[in-house]
């Protein structure tokens, strides 16, 4: 059986443009220390540029050319917010590396080779001058990609300890059919306009009559159609807020088959019929959501605990020299998933190998499972420093 190791590196091929004078830090300057492990400026800079490239490529159209100076949260720019996240993630990755033995985690020879291959691909695809600007030395790229590979395996190992048992009662999702009577209308130009107070009162009376009559109808949807109205469906629990909190509150108090009275909100009126007290598909989906939340909480809590116990120090004088305003870094790539960055590990590879074998036994083309590499183009558009 073949082992499939897949490494996608978003920053594989970059477009790097100088905007101002380049940063003046040294490669071996120390940005942060986590226990006895030092995070050098070149490692921090390369990972920061890796993240920057994602923002520049996929968010700049929404955030504008001056995105890094724009406000992300009150009193904090996007550059400050993203850099804070970058450094915290790097610190967490080092902590995860330091706790690998506790979870029996290690990188296989195949995974290490995948990292080496990706480093070589990055090195060959980008001009020396561009690599220097993003601290893309083979040493720095290998270190960052190794930490990323470890992070993924450790996250899976930690999350394997999460409780995956969820009862129907805990995840129960009800379902309903409902009709809305909005307090808006459409003008001759197709624009939505607010109703007058008189029109709103007429709409409310229409909704009230519908609610009264619908209680005696077996088929809520069919009755709505007779009244030239459209019945929509929704699943919900007591914590739901859509389509309207007041409607959810009213429907949540009913038994299956019962119809609400008129429910009025600021935006219009609603009438709903509860069609099930346990929607199987929605409940199963909620169970999966609860399990995923537990896994993420366990991972976050574990990292936070390690952070509390670890001695972490940051040299802000060095870290401040790394700025997203001095370089524009974007990605030229052809991979369909722009956020993919993963090492496919042995356990996943084994599972897919089994699937490959089944395909082969049934006469299917095993070549469909060939190893996949990220295919990207290189372009460098450098302005004068």
Buried b / exposed e along 75-93 (16+ C-beta atoms within 10 A):
eebbbbebbeebbebbbbb
Location of structure tokens 């088929």:
219
Percent of the chain residues past pLDDT 90, beyond the cut: 66
Give 13's pLDDT tier (boundaries 50, 70, 90).
low
Q: Find out whether 301 and 195 touch, Cβ atoms under 8 Å.
A: no
* Per-residue pLDDT reduced to its tens digit, 108-145: 999 999 899 889 888 888 889 889 999 999 999 999 99
Query: Exposed, middle or buried, 22 (CB in 10 Å: 0-12/13-18/19+)?
Result: middle
Domain ranges of the chain: 14-163+289-369, 174-277
CA distance 102 to 78: 36
The matching CATH number, chosen from 1.10.10, 1.10.4030, 2.160.20, 3.30.70, for 14-163+289-369 is 1.10.4030
* Per-residue pLDDT reduced to its tens digit, 264-303: 999 999 999 999 999 999 999 999 999 999 999 999 999 9
* Per-residue pLDDT reduced to its tens digit, 26-57: 999 999 999 999 999 999 999 999 999 889 88
* Per-residue pLDDT reduced to its tens digit, 68-86: 999 999 999 999 999 999 9
Average pLDDT over residues 178-198: 92
| CATH class held by domain 174-277 | alpha beta
For the chain, the farthest-separated pair of C-alpha atoms sits apart, in whole angstroms, at: 79
Q: Which region among 107-121, 153-167, 217-231, 347-361 has the lowest average model confidence (pLDDT)?
A: 347-361
CA distance 45 to 321: 9
Is residue 223 scored above 60 in pLDDT?
Answer: yes
Give 374's pLDDT tier (boundaries 50, 70, 90).
very low
Q: Which helix (H) or strand (E) holds 356?
A: helix 346-361
């Amino acid at each position: 059986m073949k082992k499939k190791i897949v490494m996608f590196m978003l920053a594989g091929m970059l477009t790097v443009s100088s905007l101002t004078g380049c940063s003046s830090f040294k490669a071996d300057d120390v940005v942060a220390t986590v226990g006895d492990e030092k995070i050098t400026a070149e490692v921090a800079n390369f990972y920061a540029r890796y993240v920057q490239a994602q923002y520049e490529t996929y968010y700049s159209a929404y955030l504008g050319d001056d995105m890094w100076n724009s406000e992300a949260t009150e009193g904090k720019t996007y550059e400050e917010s993203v850099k804070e996240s970058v450094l915290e993630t790097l610190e967490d990755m080092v902590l995860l590396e330091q706790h690998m033995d506790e979870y029996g985690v290690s990188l296989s020879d195949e995974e290490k080779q995948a990292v080496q291959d990706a480093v070589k691909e990055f090195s060959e695809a980008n001009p020396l001058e561009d690599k220097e600007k993003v601290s893309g030395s083979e040493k720095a790229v290998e270190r960052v990609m190794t930490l990323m590979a470890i992070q993924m395996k450790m996250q899976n190992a930690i999350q394997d300890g999460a409780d995956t048992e969820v009862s129907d009662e805990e995840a129960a999702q009800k379902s309903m059919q409902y009709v809305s009577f909005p307090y808006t209308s459409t003008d001759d130009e197709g624009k939505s306009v607010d109703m007058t107070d008189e029109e709103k009162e007429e709409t409310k009376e229409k909704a009230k009559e519908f609610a009264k009559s619908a209680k005696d109808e077996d088929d809520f949807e069919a009755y709505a159609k007779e009244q030239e109205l459209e019945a929509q469906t929704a699943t919900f629990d007591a914590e739901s807020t859509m389509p309207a909190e007041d409607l959810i509150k009213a429907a949540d108090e009913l038994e299956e088959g019962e119809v609400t009275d008129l429910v009025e909100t600021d935006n219009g009126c609603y009438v709903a019929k509860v069609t099930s007290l346990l929607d199987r598909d929605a409940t199963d989906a909620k169970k999966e959501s609860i399990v995923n939340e537990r896994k993420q909480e366990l991972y976050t809590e574990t990292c936070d605990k390690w952070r509390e116990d670890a001695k972490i120090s940051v040299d802000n004088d060095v870290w401040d020299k790394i700025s997203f305003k001095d370089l524009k870094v974007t990605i030229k790539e052809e991979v369909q998933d722009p956020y993919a960055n993963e090492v496919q590990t042995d356990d996943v590879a084994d599972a897919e190998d089994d699937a490959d074998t089944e395909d082969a036994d049934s006469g299917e083309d095993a070549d469909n499972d060939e190893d996949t590499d990220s295919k990207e183009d290189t372009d460098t558009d450098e302005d004068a420093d």
